[in-house]
Amino acid sequence: DWGYTDDNGPSTWAEKYPLAAGARQSPVDIDTSKATSDNSLVDREIDWSYPSNCSYRIVNTGYGWRVDTYGDDTALSGGPLSEVYKLEQFHCHWGATNDEGSEHTVDGKSYAAELHLVHWNSEKYSSFKEAASQPDGLAVLGVFMEIGNADNAELEKIISLIPKIIHKGQDSQASFDLDFGSLLPESKHYWTYLGSLTTPPCNECVIWTVFKEPITISERQLEVFRSLKSVGEEDAIEPEEGKLVKNYRPPLPLGNRVLRECGP
Ligand SMILES: NS(=O)(=O)c1ccc(B(O)O)cc1
Ligand SMILES: [Zn+2]
């Protein structure tokens, strides 16, 4: 199966997942000199509403952790979006050391990690699965994460559950509330472009919005991410083996896609 090691990592994905070799792939390096500030975005501030009392389920996918939200009363609209999108799940990508880990880069700079909030176009399509096969089906918010001294309090609620899902396939139902909104930076300055899922099958179905301002996470919190395992409990391997120390795809060419910028 695909993964992030030398023998099943991003450079091998196109062998089994042909879309990975497409012309609208993600992530990309955000070359700020190529970004055009687009007036059509100015008066359409990106807007989200996530109720703060959300219960959720966290699962070890084998590729990282993923929080499945029950996106009933969530909504993302405005900015590059023509319809209202619902939050389906969020997850994160990170690296083995703090000088790598994000998927998008900014003028070649990597951040230590990148949070993805995955939404689907529930106005036009009847399910997430259907939306993931459409060019405007998904809207993903990308938030860079850099190392700071303080723990990220909201992320701590997720991190406290990771010891329960160390092995692939394990999940945990969370009881306390999560305020998704607090996982987003203060500034709404963002770049946007048309791209894809950054993991197989790499469907070209994502309207990407990447915020310029990073949020912070502590080194300890990031170490907890790296303690996740990519193998199931039944795979009897050495304790240090199978650790998910990195799960990011390096950038693909922007090609002739437009990169738009908006925000203060
Ligand atoms: N990494 S990502 O946000 O592009 C993403 C989102 C969803 C899925 B998926 O539902 O398989 C895969 C990748
Ligand atoms: Zn992702």
pLDDT digits (tens, 9 = 90+) for 206-230: 999 999 999 999 999 999 999 999 9
- Looking at residue 55, its pLDDT comes to 76
- Pocket of ligand 1, candidates 115, 198, 208: which has the most ligand atoms within 8 Å of its Cβ, to mutate? 198
Mean pLDDT score of the chain: 93
Question: Which residue is closest in CA terms to ligand 1's atom 5?
Answer: 197
Question: Which residue is closest in CA terms to ligand 1's atom 3?
Answer: 116
Residue of higher predicted confidence among 198 and 40 = 198
Question: pLDDT-derived band of residue 43, with 50, 70 and 90 as boundaries?
Answer: low
Task: Indicate whether residue 197 lines ligand 1 (CB < 6 A).
Answer: yes
Q: Which residues contact 123 (CB under 8 A, 6 or more apart)?
A: 83, 84, 85
Phi-psi category of residue 203: left, alpha or beta, with phi > 0 → left and psi -120 to 50 → alpha: beta
Question: Which residue is closest in CA terms to ligand 1's atom 4?
Answer: 197
- Amino acid at the residue 221: Q
The arithmetic mean of pLDDT across residues 13-31, rounded, is 98
The arithmetic mean of pLDDT across residues 46-67, rounded, is 89
Question: Is the confidence at residue 175, as pLDDT, over 70?
Answer: no
Q: State the distance from the centre of ligand 2 to the C-alpha of 198, rounded, in angstroms.
A: 6
- Looking at residue 174, its pLDDT comes to 77
Question: Is the confidence at residue 58, as pLDDT, over 80?
Answer: yes
Question: pLDDT-derived band of residue 52, with 50, 70 and 90 as boundaries?
Answer: confident
Where are any strands of DSSP class E within 5-137?
Answer: 29-30, 36-37, 47-49, 54-60, 65-69, 75-77, 85-94, 105-106, 113-121
Write down the pTM of the prediction: 0.97
DSSP 207: E
| pLDDT tens per residue, range 85-130 | 999 999 999 999 999 999 999 999 999 999 999 999 999 999 999 9
Q: State the distance from the centre of ligand 2 to the C-alpha of 93, rounded, in angstroms.
A: 6
Where are any strands of DSSP class E within the chain?
Answer: 29-30, 36-37, 47-49, 54-60, 65-69, 75-77, 85-94, 105-106, 113-121, 138-147, 171-178, 190-195, 206-211, 215-217, 260-262
Q: State the distance from the centre of ligand 1 to the C-alpha of 205, rounded, in angstroms.
A: 10
The arithmetic mean of pLDDT across residues 150-157, rounded, is 91
- Looking at residue 123, its pLDDT comes to 97
- Looking at residue 71, its pLDDT comes to 66
The arithmetic mean of pLDDT across residues 229-241, rounded, is 83
Task: Indicate whether residue 58 lines ligand 1 (CB < 6 A).
Answer: no
Cross-strand bridge partners of residue 172: 58
Task: Indicate whether residue 116 lines ligand 1 (CB < 6 A).
Answer: yes
Question: Which residue is closest in CA terms to ligand 1's atom 7?
Answer: 197
